[in-house]
A and B are shown apart, each in its own frame.
Chain A
């Protein structure tokens, strides 16, 4: 019988000809990533378990991105322990303060390639599925196990096929696609399952949009999220051929099929405190906001900053709103600097932060006080995520966030004239 991408990749990694949904397999992992929240603890765990050599230090990347640069002496000490660990375990790929967000770097630096099985100590590891990678998050104890043995157990997930057709209207971004799925299907729709995107709209979906969607697939509970590896992927990776599984079999079997027509989408926003509490922006327009944030592994890419710049070019952020912008990587920072995008944003009144997670997870660089409201392009609006548990977080596309920053209240981007609309 035909296999889904999840089945194909897990079969290959488990050295089996065929596996099917529901089976437990022990699979060989192709690459691992650990970020600064967990790296020091992980090194301690390795030591206390008696592991002094990694199975393959060449297949491991460590990134300092969540606290970048260190906001306190305690965190600076953690970073110091991380750097020591990198040397002690001879880890091949280390990205220090200012390099960017772990997931962006994994993709940008070519560590993830179509057909791989990749684990990382972060839930948004599903992001790599934009390149037909089986990427999923694990915790630190399991990561220690992987680093020692190169293997981990997996249950082969069922797969939901999501067929996308049509094209986006003005003012609508790829972020709205995933918000629409969340609103329609709920935050546990894909629990324990994989998502596979397919359909006539996929060839026109650029890598940035694929990464945004795959990133937030985990907000639906997805274990993996796949886009097939196609010409868009090849162009992005500057490659012409792959070894290994990059597309599902035509006769693969799916647990469910979801159909999505892009024409029907409008700008959307997730209201506090749930990612699936999604409404059209036009229904909640006018809610005043204290802070707007453009960044994160969901929407901190060049394309996102460019969209924001289109809305903010020659204008000023509302005086009672602060706009924070954190490019997802140093490469994106430099490229947007060269293209004048950062200049437009800075002149509009944005505070440009160092490449990294910024305030996304509530560690530093723009936390919220009691009763404050933030609209951001990131991926989670859980209560307490960005500071005070009595703050409110709204999630939307770069177009909606930029438009809202302009007016100081939640604003439908279609209301704001832009030189040329594209998302």
Chain B
């Protein structure tokens, strides 16, 4: 299933790509391509950890990772690269604050879920119910509950990001104090 802009799928289904702790924004969006176009940038997402990832990841696939996912810089290109590759959701033991905010701000579903690393192996088929924070391993049948996102963040995700939301709300965009 593919996350279409402006609509948050209720359930994401795909294969699992597994990564370790402290996956940094330098790994997600290497500085060398900082100003390259998105089409080029997305080909380098996580390449130093797993060169197959940017080539073989399919829309809807799920990134499962350890602690402190997305640590490092404020670059929004980190979640943006994953979103551009079609990643349906990132489920991690924990997230770095900036990555977490940025992912939601651009409409990439993220779910903190302690225990997820142990519950999955690379390539497992998985299903994530985003609002319900339910993660299921379709190979083992194991189900885990992540930490539910507050309604305000689900609203941002559902709108496809904070700017689409701002636009949709048609708030007085300019000159407001």
Contact = CB atoms under 8 A, between A and B. Distances in A.
B137 interface: no
Nearest to A40: B35
A123 B73 contact: yes
Contacts of A51: 173-174
Given A75-B35, A121-B74, A191-B94, A148 B26 contact: no
Size class of the A contact interface (CB-based, 8 Å) = 35 or more
- Interface residues of B, dominant DSSP: loop
19 contacts: A45-B163, A55-B175, A123-B72, A139-B75, A139-B102, A141-B105, A141-B162, A142-B102, A148-B171, A148-B173, A187-B22, A187-B71, A191-B68, A191-B97, A221-B97, A380-B24, A383-B48, A384-B27, A384-B31
B50 to A, nearest CB: 12
B144 interface: no
Given A141-B161, A142-B105, 11 more contacts: A24-B152, A125-B74, A137-B98, A139-B74, A139-B101, A150-B176, A187-B22, A191-B94, A363-B31, A383-B27, A384-B31
Interface of A: 24, 37-38, 45, 48-56, 66-67, 74-75, 78, 120-123, 125, 137-142, 144-145, 148-150, 153, 187-188, 191-192, 221, 223, 274, 361-363, 380, 382-385, 387, 389
A150 B71 contact: no
A142 B71 contact: no
A54 B24 CA distance: 32
A362 B31 contact: yes
Size class of the B contact interface (CB-based, 8 Å) = 35 or more
A148 B166 contact: yes
A37 to B, nearest CB: 6
A417 B141 CA distance: 65
A141 B177 CA distance: 19
Contacts of A38: 75-76
Given A74-B35, A123-B72, A145-B162, A384 B48 contact: yes
B11 to A, nearest CB: 25
A382 B24 contact: yes
A139 B48 CA distance: 24
A140 B163 CA distance: 10
Contacts of A385: 26, 31
Nearest to A53: B174
A37 B34 contact: yes
